[in-house]
């Protein structure tokens, strides 16, 4: 009994530690400046009991886009190299792919030819390579792939291409009673395969695009099989729709980097009480990439205008972030 009480007290002390409002030191990868200050001020506003903008912990919902907001997205959303590697791995089982675009080009190593069909080709590749597996098999395949997949430019593991300042921000918000969600255009099961390890976000707090699933018995054992059909694309105006469906309450803080996140930020901003919206602006061609209004990946055009006009926080990666990527794992 004594041991249990001691354990409980130790856990309680750990919780007390976690509950003492994290200071700005919780964001060591952020340079002092307007962006960092706006975050710290907002958190102080909504967590100070009795203050006019105090928000109950249960209502402290923060939503984050993933590609380009929590980890890099250049030169191509990381789910696509995964899908392309799957095409190569599965080619022997699909002789028909040798005659069929975009697969034929991919198998020959001609990425440009394969993507000539634009977004439609990409979708076709994703649907064809993600279907057929059970959800558990798919999780295993993604985890195995991520264990070794490296970035073509930096040579680092893709999971180490997460942004250290954002990882710190997630932890800082959680230490202040926020529930952090990912609301990604990426595949829900792809993102779930690493979100807990990389961001500390459990599967039930990851929302994303999804394919249809089918409940089946295989050898008398129930499985969920991924079907070759799109269920939901979690982008633009459908991000607030997904937030309503999965969370059922309006976030008080939203973080994105592209026009695809704009409606999510608008929806968040339109609630009553204190609200926080932030755009990550890719301005650092040396340490990362510099792109915005004319990029095909992660275009930020209308969103940049609206953020400026409404006074939302715009992170200038070059000047606001001391470090960009997570430290390398040894």
Residue placing its CB nearer to a copy of itself in the complex, 101 or 306: 306
Minimum distance between the CB of residue 267 and a copy of itself, rounded to whole angstroms?
A: 5
Measure the CA–CA gap between 55 and 274, rounded to whole angstroms.
9
Structural contact between residues 170 and 69, judged by C-beta atoms closer than 8 angstroms: no
Query: What angle do helix axes 164-175 and 34-47 make, rounded to 10 degrees?
Result: 20
Residue placing its CB nearer to a copy of itself in the complex, 50 or 95: 50
Provide the 10 A C-beta neighbour count for residue 71. 22
Measure the CA–CA gap between 274 and 36, rounded to whole angstroms.
17
Structural contact between residues 208 and 190, judged by C-beta atoms closer than 8 angstroms: yes
Measure the CA–CA gap between 19 and 15, rounded to whole angstroms.
6
Measure the CA–CA gap between 83 and 226, rounded to whole angstroms.
15
Minimum distance between the CB of residue 236 and a copy of itself, rounded to whole angstroms?
A: 8
Minimum distance between the CB of residue 103 and a copy of itself, rounded to whole angstroms?
A: 28
Measure the CA–CA gap between 132 and 227, rounded to whole angstroms.
6
Minimum distance between the CB of residue 196 and a copy of itself, rounded to whole angstroms?
A: 8
Residue placing its CB nearer to a copy of itself in the complex, 268 or 283: 268
**What is the 8-class DSSP label of residue 39?**
H
Q: Give the CA dihedral 237, 298, 80, 225, nearest 10 degrees.
A: -20
Minimum distance between the CB of residue 149 and a copy of itself, rounded to whole angstroms?
A: 21
Provide the 10 A C-beta neighbour count for residue 170. 22
Structural contact between residues 202 and 189, judged by C-beta atoms closer than 8 angstroms: no
Residue with tokens 């694309």: 233
Residue with tokens 């901003």: 269
Q: Is 214 exposed, middle or buried (0-12, 13-18, 19+ CB in 10 A)?
A: exposed
Residues that bind a copy of itself (CB under 8 A): 4, 7-9, 11-13, 15-16, 19-20, 49, 58, 61, 135, 179, 188-189, 192, 202-204, 206, 210, 213-215, 221-222, 224, 231, 237-238, 240-241, 244-249, 263, 266-267, 270
Quick one: which of 323, 325, 304 has its CA closest to 313? 304
Minimum distance between the CB of residue 240 and a copy of itself, rounded to whole angstroms?
A: 5
Residue placing its CB nearer to a copy of itself in the complex, 152 or 220: 220
Residue placing its CB nearer to a copy of itself in the complex, 105 or 205: 205
Minimum distance between the CB of residue 61 and a copy of itself, rounded to whole angstroms?
A: 8
Residue placing its CB nearer to a copy of itself in the complex, 1 or 92: 1
Residue placing its CB nearer to a copy of itself in the complex, 13 or 116: 13
Measure the CA–CA gap between 200 and 163, rounded to whole angstroms.
13
Measure the CA–CA gap between 291 and 285, rounded to whole angstroms.
8
Minimum distance between the CB of residue 261 and a copy of itself, rounded to whole angstroms?
A: 13
Residue placing its CB nearer to a copy of itself in the complex, 269 or 326: 269
Residue placing its CB nearer to a copy of itself in the complex, 159 or 209: 209
Minimum distance between the CB of residue 181 and a copy of itself, rounded to whole angstroms?
A: 9
């Amino acid at each position: 009994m004594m041991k249990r009480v001691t354990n409980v007290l130790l856990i309680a002390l750990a919780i007390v530690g976690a509950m003492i409002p994290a200071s700005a030191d919780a964001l060591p990868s952020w340079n002092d400046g307007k962006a960092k200050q706006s975050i710290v001020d907002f958190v102080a506003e909504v967590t100070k009991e009795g203050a006019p903008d105090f928000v109950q912990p249960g209502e402290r919902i923060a939503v984050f886009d993933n590609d380009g907001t929590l980890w890099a997205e250049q030169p191509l959303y990381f789910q696509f190299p995964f899908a392309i590697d799957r095409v190569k791995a599965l080619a022997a089982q699909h002789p028909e792919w040798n005659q069929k675009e975009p697969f034929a080009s991919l198998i020959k190593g001609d990425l440009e030819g394969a993507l000539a069909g634009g977004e439609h080709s990409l979708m076709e590749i994703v649907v064809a390579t993600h279907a057929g597996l059970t959800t558990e098999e798919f999780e295993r395949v993604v985890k195995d792939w991520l264990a070794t997949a490296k970035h073509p430019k930096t040579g680092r593991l893709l999971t180490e291409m997460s942004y250290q300042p954002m990882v710190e921000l997630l932890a800082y918000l959680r230490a202040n009673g926020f529930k952090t969600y990912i609301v990604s255009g990426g595949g829900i099961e792809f993102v779930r395969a690493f979100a807990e390890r990389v961001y500390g976000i459990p599967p039930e707090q990851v929302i994303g695009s999804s394919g249809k699933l089918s409940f089946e018995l295989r050898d008398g054992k129930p499985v969920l099989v991924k079907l070759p059909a799109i269920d939901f694309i979690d982008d633009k105006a459908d991000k607030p729709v997904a937030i309503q469906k999965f969370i059922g309450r309006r976030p008080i803080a939203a973080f994105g980097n592209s026009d695809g996140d704009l409606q999510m930020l608008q929806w968040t901003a339109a609630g009553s009480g204190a609200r926080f919206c932030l755009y990550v602006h890719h301005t650092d061609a040396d340490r990362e990439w510099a792109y915005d209004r004319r990029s095909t990946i992660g275009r930020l055009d209308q969103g940049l205008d609206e953020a400026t006009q409404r006074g939302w926080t715009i992170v200038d990666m070059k000047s606001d972030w001391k470090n960009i990527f997570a430290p390398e794992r040894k």
